[in-house]
Amino acid sequence: MPIYEYRCSKCGKTFEALQSIAAPHITQCIFCQGKTKKIVSLSSFQFKGNGWYITDYKKNDTDGKTKKETHSKKDNKKPDNAKLN
């Protein structure tokens, strides 16, 4: 479940709430019962593993083409000694 952040328009305090996506927004401040507004905050998750960084999946060959481009051109060619069934 995501954690949402709310700010009170009366007292100015910010608080977090663990809520499901379908749950209604919190309309009253937990400190002073003033009106609250949902605010956008920074996410706290990290991407780990291969493929999340541009350097992980875009490796250049010596001629400047990416490996993906090189492989796709090679895969489209049929070998000279290929047998058709």
Please tell me the predicted confidence (pLDDT) of residue 18.
93
In angstroms, how far is CA 80 from the centroid of its own chain?
Answer: 45
| 5-62 residue pLDDT tens | 999 999 999 999 999 989 999 999 999 999 999 998 777 666 666 666 666 555 555 5
With 60 as the cut, is the pLDDT of residue 79 above it? no
Please indicate, yes or no, whether the overall pTM of this predicted structure exceeds 0.75: no
Please tell me the predicted confidence (pLDDT) of residue 71.
53
With 70 as the cut, is the pLDDT of residue 85 above it? no
Compute the residue count for the chain.
Answer: 85
